[in-house]
Amino acid sequence: MKFSIDRKSISDVLSLIQGVTNRTTTLAITSDVLIKAEDSQITVTANDLETVFQGQYDADVESDGIISINARKLYEIVREYPENIFPVNEIENRWIEIGEGNIQYHIVSSDHENFPEHPVIEDVPFIEIDTSLLKKMVEISASITYSKEEKRPYVLGALLEYVSDASVDSVALEMAYQTSSSSDVSEKKASSGKSSSSQKSSSTVSDDNPSEDHDTENSLASADNKDKETKSAILRMVSTDSKRLYAFDIPVSGNLEIPEEGIIIPKKGLSELGKFLSTSGKALIGVKNNHFIVKIDNETMMVKLLEGEYPDYRRVLSTTGFTPIIMNRIMFMMMMKRMSILVSDDYKSVIFNFRENELVVTITNPEIGESKEQIAVGYTGNHIESAFNPKYFIDALNAVKGDDVVVHIKDNRNPCILKGHDDKGFVCAIMAMSV
Amino acid sequence: MPDIRILPETISNKIAAGEVVERPVSVVKELIENALDAKATSLLIEVSKGGRDLIRVSDNGYGMSKDNALLSIERYATSKIVDDRDIFSIKSFGFRGEALPSIASISRFTLVSRTHDSGHGVKIEIDGGKFINVSDTGAPAGTMVEVKNIYYNTPARRKFLKSVNTEMGHIADSVSAFALAFPDVTFCLNHNGRTVRHFTSSDSMLSRIEKVLGVENSLDRNEPSVFSNHSLSQDSHLNDSDFLVSRHGTGHFSNSERLFPVQFQSGNIIVTGYVGSPFVTRSSGARILLFVNSRVVSDRNIVSAIVRGFKGRIMKGKFPVAAIFLEIPCDEVDVNVHPAKLQVRFVNQGNVFEAVSTAVNEALSRGENSIICEKIDSQPGYCGATDALEVGEEQKTIKNSSLGTKVDYSDLSLFDWEKKHDEPCLDDDHDSGLWQDCNVPHYENDELNFHARQNLSDLYDSINAMDRSMAVEQCASETEQKYDCETGEQDSSETVEQYTSETGDQYSSETGKDYDSKSGSQSSDEPFISLKPEGQFAAQKSGDRFLSKIPDKGRDSSFFASLNIIGQLFGTYIVAQFKDKMVLIDQHAAHERVVFEKLKKRSISFRPPSQRLIVPETLELNYRESALLEKIMKGLSTLGIEVEPFGDNTFVIKSIPGIIDNKVIKPLLMDILDMLLTSGVEDDFFEEKNHTSLKNSVVESFGGRDWLDDILILISCHNAVRANHSLRSEEIKALMQELDSCQAPFHCPHGRPLIVEFSRREIEKSFKRTG
């Protein structure tokens, strides 16, 4: 086998797959990359038995063949190689000669026969999706990490739920509508019931709430209309570590053939997928043969799904009986960052005190000291004291878009539900701590 | 089907012998117990060929009349219990009436006995359970039992006999154990005509324990080794055959710093004895001797309680050496569990466990403190001894003045026990005598040796400090208690205060109100079963009384700070000089200990925040586990683990401690449950008080907090200075000062030693300066 390829293009792809091939494993060959040269194209494959990447690239192929070579070393060589054309040549006994003229490497390669076979999946019912949205969804979901000894599938993976076309399944859409695009609907119902009182009691809330509801209604209505035109629905990814939970929604068109209860995609694969996805263009996604498949042009990524049950998360996101409070996102985040300075390994809870029109946040770390901040918020109602880990707020506030967020709070046992004021695609639940 | 018949007695005796006489040592044990039950004060045990050929036990006890002697060889004939109530409060060793007939059924058996007031003795001969002859004979007062050719008529059993050395090792161990339990009794063990163990009644408790535990100073007896690291290899040669090495006559005193006295009472459980220094470890628990009401027992739970007391001082999988005596009311312990009575069962397993581990832990802390309390510039000469004398006298004065005739130490069974056991370090009446008798002459002999003198005075100081602190506490607690009971005796408390101010402020925190409040809180959260006003425990009136506590506050700790720091080695070890020793300190281990203790102190002072879970974890348990979990739920919640029942044997974990919010909780909780289950506390139920939950302290002491310790150890490991990290002298000094304030400053939290020493002699030996 002998080929040469543009250094930049092979460098990009090798950089991309390092996450797949650099995993510590007992199966050494999974740190290799498989390169197949054929018909003036090379096919690059990386496979860690869970995530498979495959891409086709134009190359100057002199003779066909397949090699399996250590991905890390190959990438390092490519990175430092001075010429624009990168020549690879299999000489004998699986020795790979890289370079030409003054610079030459001889690298040992493995028997490509041993390279794990990846599932050949054909006729995937792909749907088209906005790449940047998918990237955001995938990255946010992968950002909730887990420890090494973790075994719970709902922590190891994120749930992907597809709610099909309204005309096909209106109930499902209704549910998605309610839970995803915030419980504004239920809130609206609640607030309309007691609208007079809420309007009187709090200027901020009552002023904003109806408008918020109104906006939502509009946006959802418009989305609804659009959905109906293009036969679209909402695709949602849910990620949790049992201490907080994110739900990220994307409107999509077309029909993904996934089971009603959704699929669980390992977060490890999702974070690889996040690197793979660019910030513009369209991607094709599909689910088949127990794999989640993403295809962009000449490159494909397949992630093997996790087995297991995903707990019913909808209950956690319900904001019935909660009080919404609008807060400036940046201000709230800065406050949490200042609070988290006093957090230590064994003490990481910040106490939130919601009182009439004010929020007082305190942290008292017995070893370091204490801190207190007070801000005016549009809160009316009984005094609520609840404790949270500020890190989770910082993460969530980074994930949400827009200037304002809506914090939903009920008591010291229920989670705090955080939503974007305008960004309806993201909901976060943060569980309370008890001190 | 063949007819059912009642077995002839010869066969039933052989069957009983299978249980009772497992191997020759069982015979020795039964006979010694009989002798002790007959109040013998001197025992001669003669053995040949590891007991195969001959076991002969002669005592000077009551002896038996002819009629009694004849009855004694009948099955279920005993003088030790009368009616069924006695079974539940057994004070004698034997009671089943099985031993003699069983032994007689499997050997050639001769019994000679004479009572003190009888003119002649009686001799009974039995051969394999068959009665041969009974005759009058001349004999010394007491009883002699001779067991020849054991198992001669049960060849199957004979095949199971191990080598002579092994069997003899067991016998020697057994005799040694009795010698510890009965320090007033003279024991002499001869094997094939040679004396292999000899304990005279004049031996002190300490010297007996030294002999039995084999804790001897390793290299040089004149140099008390504070934390000798050499002993590991030196002592580990002890095994079954070491009885051949006579340990008689090694009456050196310097072991005191290697054996820490245990003295503790919790409720009606009294724990005494000695534990070895954590630097002396074994890979099995074979050198942990346990006595319950002077009966030798083997009990895994108590062993693990002792090991737990050593936690953080020895490494996992290692065992200390110890001799622990438990005094517990007869009705709270069941000895009728095992045919040879090697096992016992406690009514309140958890309390026993807790008492033992606390006792051990306190003994170690106290012992280490005493080392720390040593001053590098301690005055040479007699000061240590004279101090002790003064203190002793002063205490007597206080006793007389403040407590008058009302409180006599001998009223209290514990002190009875001490006297009985002649335990020098603990009995303040004795200690002045001890120092005079033993140390001072020794010191004078060595006067020419400057180093020896230095060391001796150090040792005086250390032991005196320890002694004094304990004595003061005892005295204070006694006084305080009496004062509480009998109001109006203003004098007593004043005297105590006066006294403490005289002895220096380091103990002042232990007295007065402080002590009062501590003991008060102690008694309130520990619902021990109230004392039975009967038997030997009648003298104690109050529920909980700590005889000794760790003098942790205001302790004059300057050991590490007083080290003469020479420098740093490999960027990893701190080299220092302590008197005439070179000391190496592992900086990482040392700092780890400092950080760990800080974190631990903190974790105790506040309830850890707990993180609620979005998805509660469900636990499917078996019946036993769920019954236990139900009981510890409350205790767990104070540690930040909220568990709720979820029907049947299913539970849900609702929140987890914030400190481990990235850990998987289920295995951790199962570990806690397992630990509690194996320790047997699950049966501790305080029904009379309607307690449906186990005490928190029990949960914690049984491993409920282990996970927290593990986490804290991990954190401290990460936060401690690493090896290969150069330290400035100021940093070293600061580290040394912080070490001084640690509870267990000689070990890293994993239990590895953080300090090792090399004596001047060792170094000089290497340079061939001295032989």
Give a three-class secondary structure readout of B559-600. Answer: CCCCCEEEEEECCCEEEEEECCEEEEEEHHHHHHHHHHHHHH
A-chain CB neighbours of B655 within 8 Å are 433-434
**A183-216, pLDDT tens digit by residue?**
444 444 444 444 344 333 333 344 444 444 444 4
pLDDT at B471: 43
- Is B618 an 8 Å CB contact of chain A? no
Tell me the nearest-neighbour CA distance from B611 into chain A, angstroms.
Answer: 4
Give alpha helix (H) positions in B331-449. Answer: 349-372, 383-398, 413-421, 428-434, 440-445
Is residue B340 one of the residues assigned to a domain? Answer: yes
Q: How confident is the model at residue B704 (pLDDT cuts 50, 70, 90)?
A: low
Higher per-residue confidence, B250 vs B14: B14
Percentage of chain B beyond pLDDT 70 is 64
Report the C-alpha gap between B556 and B375 in whole angstroms.
9
pLDDT at B462: 47
What's the distance, Cα to Cα, between the start and end of chain A in Å? 66
Residue A302 Cα distances to A28, A133, A430, angstroms: 20, 18, 31
Orientation angle between helical segments B383-398 and B450-485, nearest 10 degrees: 10
Residue B136 predicted with pLDDT over 80: yes
pTM equals: 0.62
pLDDT at B677: 75
**A318-335, pLDDT tens digit by residue?**
888 899 999 999 999 999
Tell me the nearest-neighbour CA distance from B609 into chain A, angstroms.
Answer: 4
Residue B502 predicted with pLDDT over 80: no
Chain B residue closest in CA terms to A315: B614
For B:714-743, CB contacts with A below 8 A are 715
Chain B residue closest in CA terms to A239: B614
Q: Are residues B99 and B30 in the same domain?
A: yes
Residue B375 predicted with pLDDT over 80: no
**B380-392, pLDDT tens digit by residue?**
333 333 333 343 4
Beta strands in B267-380 (DSSP E): 269-276, 281-282, 288-292, 295-297, 319-320, 322-327, 333-334, 345-346
Among B606, B611, B659, select the one facing A345 at the smallest CB separation.
B659
Tell me the mean pLDDT in the region B663-683.
Answer: 74
**B609-640, pLDDT tens digit by residue?**
888 998 888 888 888 888 888 877 877 777 78
- CATH fold group of domain A191-228+318-430: DNA Polymerase III; Chain A, domain 2 (3.10.150)
Query: Does the beta-carbon distance from A346 to B602 stay under 8 Å?
Result: yes
Torsion sign, CA atoms A334, A336, A342, A344: negative
Residue A59 predicted with pLDDT over 90: yes
Query: Does the beta-carbon distance from A433 to B659 stay under 8 Å?
Result: no
Tell me the mean pLDDT in the region A121-144.
Answer: 90
DSSP string, B674-715: HHHHHHTGGG--BGGGTB-S--HHHHIIIIITHHHHHHHHHH
Residue B190 predicted with pLDDT over 70: yes
DSSP string, B655-667: EEEGGGTTS-HHH
A-chain CB neighbours of B609 within 8 Å are 347-349, 387, 433-435
Worst-scoring range by mean pLDDT, A247-256, A286-295, A417-426, B603-612? B603-612
Among A154, A311, A367, select the one facing B602 at the smallest CB separation.
A367
B-chain CB neighbours of A157 within 8 Å are none
pLDDT at B372: 58
> Residue B306: which CATH number?
3.30.230.10
DSSP state of B23: S
Is residue B213 one of the residues assigned to a domain? Answer: no
3-state helix, strand, coil in chain A (%, to 5): 30, 35, 30
Assess whether the region A127-164+232-304 and the region A191-228+318-430 belong to the same CATH fold. yes
**B707-748, pLDDT tens digit by residue?**
677 777 877 887 788 888 888 888 888 888 888 888 888 888
Among B605, B606, B612, select the one facing A433 at the smallest CB separation.
B612
Tell me the mean pLDDT in the region A88-106.
Answer: 89
Report the C-alpha gap between A413 and B560 in whole angstroms.
49
pLDDT at A239: 95
Report the C-alpha gap between A423 and B699 in whole angstroms.
49
Is residue B458 one of the residues assigned to a domain? Answer: no
pLDDT at A299: 93
Query: How many Cβ atoms are within 10 Å of A403's Cβ, its own excluded?
Result: 11
| Residues belonging to chain A | 435
B-chain CB neighbours of A311 within 8 Å are 615
Tell me the mean pLDDT in the region B401-407.
Answer: 38
Contact B263, B547 (CB under 8 A): yes
**A257-280, pLDDT tens digit by residue?**
888 888 999 999 999 999 999 888
Is residue B678 one of the residues assigned to a domain? Answer: yes
Percentage of chain B beyond pLDDT 90 is 7
**A341-382, pLDDT tens digit by residue?**
998 877 888 999 999 999 999 998 877 889 999 999 988 888
pLDDT at B89: 67
B-chain CB neighbours of A387 within 8 Å are 609
> Residue B585: which CATH number?
3.30.1540.20
Q: Which of B338, B371, B404 is the last residue of a domain?
A: B371
Complex-level ipTM beyond the 0.85 threshold: no
**HSE-up (13 A, CA, CB side) for residue A220:** 23
A-chain CB neighbours of B617 within 8 Å are 242
**B533-588, pLDDT tens digit by residue?**
333 333 333 333 333 333 343 445 678 888 888 889 998 899 998 888 888 999 99
**Phi, psi (degrees; rounded to nearest 5) at A412:** -85, 0
Chain A interface, Cβ < 8 Å to B: 146-147, 149-152, 154, 240-245, 311, 313, 316, 345-349, 366-367, 387, 389, 413, 415, 429, 431-435
A-chain CB neighbours of B603 within 8 Å are 346
Mean pLDDT of chain A: 83
Q: Are residues B152 and B286 in the same domain?
A: no
The residue to which tokens 């009984």 are assigned: A382
Mean pLDDT of chain B: 69
Q: List B123's β-bridge partners, or say none.
A: B112, B135
pLDDT at A138: 94
Tell me the mean pLDDT in the region B361-370.
Answer: 80
Tell me the nearest-neighbour CA distance from B715 into chain A, angstroms.
Answer: 8
Q: How confident is the model at residue B681 (pLDDT cuts 50, 70, 90)?
A: low
Q: Are residues B107 and B199 in the same domain?
A: yes
Report the C-alpha gap between B533 and B531 in whole angstroms.
6
- Is B611 an 8 Å CB contact of chain A? yes
Tell me the mean pLDDT in the region A34-52.
Answer: 92
The residue to which tokens 């989670």 are assigned: A415
User: At the top level of CATH, which class does the domain A127-164+232-304 belong to?
Assistant: alpha beta
Query: Does the beta-carbon distance from A389 to B658 stay under 8 Å?
Result: yes
Worst-scoring range by mean pLDDT, A387-391, B505-509, B763-767? B505-509
Chain B residue closest in CA terms to A147: B662
Q: Are residues B742 and B619 in the same domain?
A: yes
Orientation angle between helical segments A7-21 and A71-80, nearest 10 degrees: 150
Query: How many Cβ atoms are within 10 Å of B67's Cβ, its own excluded?
Result: 9
Query: Does the beta-carbon distance from B664 to A345 stay under 8 Å?
Result: no
Query: Does the beta-carbon distance from B615 to A432 stay under 8 Å?
Result: no
Over its C-alpha atoms, chain B yields an Rg (Å, rounded) of: 28
Contact A256, A287 (CB under 8 A): yes
For B:433-462, CB contacts with A below 8 A are none
Among A349, A366, A415, select the one facing B658 at the smallest CB separation.
A349
Query: How many Cβ atoms are within 10 Å of B698's Cβ, its own excluded?
Result: 23
The residue to which tokens 């002792």 are assigned: B306
**B107-135, pLDDT tens digit by residue?**
999 999 998 888 888 999 999 888 888 89
User: How many A-B residue pairs are in contact by the CB < 8 A criterion?
Assistant: 78
Report the C-alpha gap between B346 and B342 in whole angstroms.
13
Quote the number of domains for chain B. Answer: 3
- Is B148 an 8 Å CB contact of chain A? no
Residue B459 predicted with pLDDT over 50: no
Worst-scoring range by mean pLDDT, B44-58, B217-231, B314-328? B217-231
- Is B607 an 8 Å CB contact of chain A? yes
Query: Does the beta-carbon distance from A346 to B661 stay under 8 Å?
Result: no
Among B602, B603, B609, select the one facing A349 at the smallest CB separation.
B609
Is residue B424 one of the residues assigned to a domain? Answer: no
Contacting residues for A180 by C-beta, under 8 A, at least 6 apart: A234, A236, A247, A249, A424, A425, A427
Chain B residue closest in CA terms to A346: B659
pLDDT at B320: 87
Worst-scoring range by mean pLDDT, A325-334, B141-150, B685-694? B685-694
Q: Is B441 helix (H, G, I), strand (E, B) or coil?
A: helix
pLDDT at B158: 81
The two tokens of residue A433 are 């701590």
A-chain CB neighbours of B662 within 8 Å are 146-147, 241
Query: Does the beta-carbon distance from B663 to A346 stay under 8 Å?
Result: no
Percentage of chain A beyond pLDDT 90 is 52
Report the C-alpha gap between B248 and B35 in whole angstroms.
23
**Phi, psi (degrees; rounded to nearest 5) at B386:** -65, -40
**B296-333, pLDDT tens digit by residue?**
888 888 888 888 888 888 887 888 888 899 888 888 88
pLDDT at A212: 42
DSSP state of B720: S
Chain B residue closest in CA terms to A152: B664
Residue A88 predicted with pLDDT over 90: yes
Residue B43 Cα distances to A62, B72, B181, angstroms: 100, 20, 14
pLDDT at A210: 42
pLDDT at B662: 76
B-chain CB neighbours of A364 within 8 Å are none
Query: Which run of H or of E encompasses A240?
Result: strand A232-240
Tell me the nearest-neighbour CA distance from B412 into chain A, angstroms.
Answer: 44
Tell me the mean pLDDT in the region B45-59.
Answer: 91
Structural domain containing residue B281: 259-371
pLDDT at A160: 93
Q: Are residues B637 and B743 in the same domain?
A: yes
> Residue B102: which CATH number?
3.30.565.10
pLDDT at A263: 93
**Phi, psi (degrees; rounded to nearest 5) at A102:** -75, -30
CATH of domain A2-114: 3.10.150.10
Chain B residue closest in CA terms to A311: B615
Tell me the nearest-neighbour CA distance from A143 into chain B, angstroms.
Answer: 14
Residue B19 predicted with pLDDT over 60: yes
Tell me the mean pLDDT in the region B171-199.
Answer: 89
Give a three-class secondary structure readout of A261-323. Answer: CCEEEEHHHHHHHHHHCCCCCEEEEEEECCEEEEEECCEEEEEECECCCCCCCHHHHCCCCCE
Q: List A127's β-bridge partners, or say none.
A: A285
Domain boundaries, chain A: 2-114, 127-164+232-304, 191-228+318-430
Q: Are residues B186 and B301 in the same domain?
A: no
Q: Is A250 helix (H, G, I), strand (E, B) or coil?
A: strand
Report the C-alpha gap between B581 and B758 in whole angstroms.
6
Among A242, A433, A434, select the one facing B615 at the smallest CB separation.
A242
Q: Is B464 helix (H, G, I), strand (E, B) or coil?
A: helix
Higher per-residue confidence, A236 vs B282: A236
